[in-house]
Homo-oligomer: A and B are copies of this chain.
Amino acid sequence: MTYSIAILGASGYTGAELIRLIAGHSSLKITALGAFSKAGQSVAQVFPHLRHLDLPTLLQIDQIDFANIDLCFCALPHKTSQSVIAALPPDLKVVDLSADFRLRDPDDYEKWYGNKHSALTQQAEAVYGLTEFYRDDIKTARLVAGTGCNAATGQYMLRPLIAAGVIDLDNIILDLKCAVSGAGRSLKENLLHAELSEGYHAYATGSTHRHLGEFDQEFSQIAGRPVQVQFTPHLIPANRGILGTGYLRGDAAQIHDTLSQAYANEPFVDVLPLGQTPSTRHVRGSNFCHIGVVADRQPDRALVVAALDNLTKGSSGQALQNANLMLNIEETEGLMMAPLFP
């Protein structure tokens, strides 16, 4: 069986990544592509690397007929996404890649994103899209909210540890190193090649990054008490990848065991042998997440390091993994491609 797919926001990087992945999928077919300023253009004009594919021209979203669409990916900016999704047919399956439906409490949304949520009905039904931890809910969901790419990285590192009670909840530090495609295709001076390459820096310092809303929500729910991590992202001169370095209090061997067991049957999350740590270059372009654990020289202190590709496992790959579940397709379909190295 072939399912008919729409992608809204097809001219951004996560849109392009969805097209790339779906092109290698055995039972999905893209029948509509939506965009704003680039509507009317062909995919070959917007993304010459996809010129070999037979794809529809980009349309304004209101030009799209959703009657025969089986599932819609929405890769739009937050705030835009909620109003677009509220206007879609109410029974259309949707995987949203924006931040609009990640936070269950509308006050949290307003606190972190600065505007009132305008699609509360949809927000109430949305399922948080971290596949490995919400798999059963996702299978029956109508609307799935893709996680933040940083938020995914940190949660792969920490969720099993918080659940198992093997780390000190008041001493969690997450230092993330993020590649530039995570900032999207927006025209900002600090994203220019001449500005960014050859240098690196911290941003959203002081634990002000919006993905903290997701950490707070999820970690506190797991722990059954408020948990606040200290989190600093850094912008690195590379195009793809997030490397998360977690400084934790706990026994490294116990941490390693806990993570190994948690992900033992997961096709995409791979825990390295104790003492080894991952590199972003080894997951590039793939849906894999590699996690390593190392004991510090000081007792009861441990390092957890995770690597994933922000555009794949961190957003579009995750979105496709969720769509597979929602359409009752094999979860790994279209997602087993090996990383690109070198």
The reply to whether A234 and B49 contact each other, CB–CB distance below 8 Å, is no
Interface residue A188 (Cβ < 8 Å from any Cβ of B): yes
Kindly state the separation between the CA atoms of A286 and B48 in the bound complex, as whole angstroms. 13
Q: CB distance B336 to A241 under 8 Å?
A: no
Residue on B nearest A13 in the bound complex, by CB: B342
Find residues 243-272 in chain A having any chain B CB closer than 8 Å to their own CB: 243, 245, 247, 270
Map CB proximity to B onto A88-129 as digits: 1 under 8 Å, 0 otherwise: 000000000000000000000000000000000000000000
Is B52 a contact of A270 with CB atoms below 8 Å?
A: yes
Q: A297 to B213, alpha carbons, bound, how many Å? A: 13
Q: Are B185 and A187 in contact (CB under 8 A)?
A: no
Q: How large is the interface on A (under 10, 10 to 19, 20 to 34, 35 or more residues)?
A: 35 or more
A237 contacts B239, C-beta separation under 8 Å: no
Among the stretches A27-35, A69-77, A200-208, the one at the interface with B is A200-208
Q: Is A145 an interface residue (CB 8 A)?
A: no
> Contacts A173-B247, A279-B200, A298-B228; is A237 near B234 (CB within 8 Å)?
no
> Which residue on B lies nearest to A20, using beta carbons?
B338
Can you list, as one digit per residue, whether each of A9-25 has a CB less than 8 Å from chain B (1) or not (0)? 00001001001100110
What residues make up the interface of A, taking CB atoms closer than 8 Å to B? 13, 16, 19-20, 23-24, 47-53, 171, 173, 175, 177, 180-181, 183, 185, 187-189, 191-202, 205-208, 212, 228, 230, 232, 234, 236-241, 243, 245, 247, 270, 275, 277-286, 288, 290, 292, 294-298, 301, 303, 305, 307, 311, 336-342
20 contacts between A and B (CB under 8 A): A13-B194, A13-B342, A16-B341, A49-B340, A51-B282, A171-B171, A177-B177, A177-B236, A181-B342, A185-B195, A187-B188, A199-B241, A199-B280, A199-B282, A200-B279, A205-B292, A205-B303, A206-B275, A230-B298, A232-B247
